[in-house]
Amino acid sequence: MATLVDKGVAAVSLAAYERDPTAFSQELGDSFKRYGFAVVADHGIPADLIARAENAAKAFFALPVEVKAQYHIPGTGGARGYTPFGIETAKDAKAFDLKEFWHVGRELPAGHRFERVMKPNLWPAEIAEFRDTQLELFAAFEEAGRKLLSAVALYLDLPADWFDDKVEDGNSVLRLLHYPPVPQDGPNIRAGAHEDINTITLLLGAEEAGLQLLDTSGEWIAVSPKPGELAINVGDMLQRLTNNVLRSTTHRVLNPAPERRGYSRYSMPFFLHFRPDFLIETLPSCISADRPDLYPDPITADDYLWQRLREIKLV
């Protein structure tokens, strides 16, 4: 199976952005336009924070099933706390994904205008360091995401700070994922082919093989970030905003080769979202005679999110 690296997509260094914003934006934007994905090195999220967050997640998933189940609130779209094995099902897929996960959302001060949309976090009482560590990682992801979006803005000929107020107090979610060992062959795979709903996704911990993107040619390509590197991809909301100039690419996580079946896979995607009341309206600069507006009806980020959650059976 070909990898992104085989296709000539080298990791881009976020540190290089400070030195040469134009060159970095071009490289990142071209990768988003062609593959919907990019690999980012020197992203500024400290290695020790990543390790602590992963260890806290591992400690949680190692708890007994009935302890974890206390943190599952049915009917809430899995937006906060724990979603057990056997629930999330990719759009149009028949078999559920082989995963369990925990969602951390934004902490809002009491009385905040988005309180009704963005529910309070749950925290597992069993893992003392869980809360502080995951909130630290949330903040670090947000900072890296802000820089990446300013590069996207430059690529789209927008001011570098264009996205800042659109994602401020955004409904972003940190997902801590556990794919348990895969015992035998069945119809299920770790994560069925899907697109992400949000603006951009920043993914850590995907070095255990399995993540693949579906190229426009119909070929599956392995996304194989090196340890510590970020894989990032365009979500449906950014695709919609840009009239499909930037592509929300279908991806999946395949089951491992027989010799790795006995191992869990842990990964940590950060789904960066717009603020709930942001109206996703096609950027005029992305409409032209040969690219007519595919989305003439604007929709708020929150309405769009709920529409999509129903499709993946989370609500």
Ligand X SMILES: O=C(O)CCC(=O)C(=O)O
Q: Determine, following the binding rule CB under 6 A, whether residue 140 of this chain makes contact with ligand X.
A: no
Q: Determine, following the binding rule CB under 6 A, whether residue 31 of this chain makes contact with ligand X.
A: no
Find the part of the chain contacting ligand X (CB under 6 A) among 108-116, 142-150, 203-211, 256-264.
203-211
The DSSP-derived string for 115-157 is TTTSPPP---TT-TTHHHHHHHHHHHHHHHHHHHHHHHHHHTT
Q: Which residue is nearest to ligand X (CB)?
A: 267
**Residue 70 identity:** Q
Q: Determine, following the binding rule CB under 6 A, whether residue 175 of this chain makes contact with ligand X.
A: yes
The size of the interface with ligand X (CB under 6 A), counted in residues, is 11
Residue 203's binding partner out of Fe ion, ligand X, none, with CB under 5 to 8 Å set by partner kind: ligand X
Residue 253's binding partner out of ligand X, Fe ion, none, with CB under 5 to 8 Å set by partner kind: ligand X
DSSP H or E stretch at residue 57: helix 47-61
Q: Give the nearest distance from C-beta 132 to ligand X in angstroms.
A: 24
Report the alpha-carbon distance of residue 52 to residue 124 in Å, rounded.
16
Q: Determine, following the binding rule CB under 6 A, whether residue 50 of this chain makes contact with ligand X.
A: no
Contact 36, 196 (CB under 8 A): no
Dihedral sign computed on CA atoms, order 106, 88, 141, 38: negative
Q: Give the nearest distance from C-beta 263 to ligand X in angstroms.
A: 14
Q: Determine, following the binding rule CB under 6 A, whether residue 212 of this chain makes contact with ligand X.
A: no
Selection from 51, 9, 52 nearest residue 30 by Cα: 9
Q: Determine, following the binding rule CB under 6 A, whether residue 38 of this chain makes contact with ligand X.
A: no
**Residues 138, 251, 91, CA angle at the centre, nearest 5°?**
95
Contact 243, 283 (CB under 8 A): yes
- Return the SS3 of 40: strand
Taking residues 183 to 202 in sequence order and writing x for each that binds Fe ion by CB under 5 A, - otherwise, the string is -------------x------
Q: Determine, following the binding rule CB under 6 A, whether residue 177 of this chain makes contact with ligand X.
A: yes
Among residues 11 and 154, whose Cβ is nearest to ligand X?
A: 11
Binding residues (CB under 6 A) for ligand X: these are 175, 177, 191, 196, 203, 206, 211, 251, 253, 267, 269
Binding residues (CB under 5 A) for Fe ion: these are 196
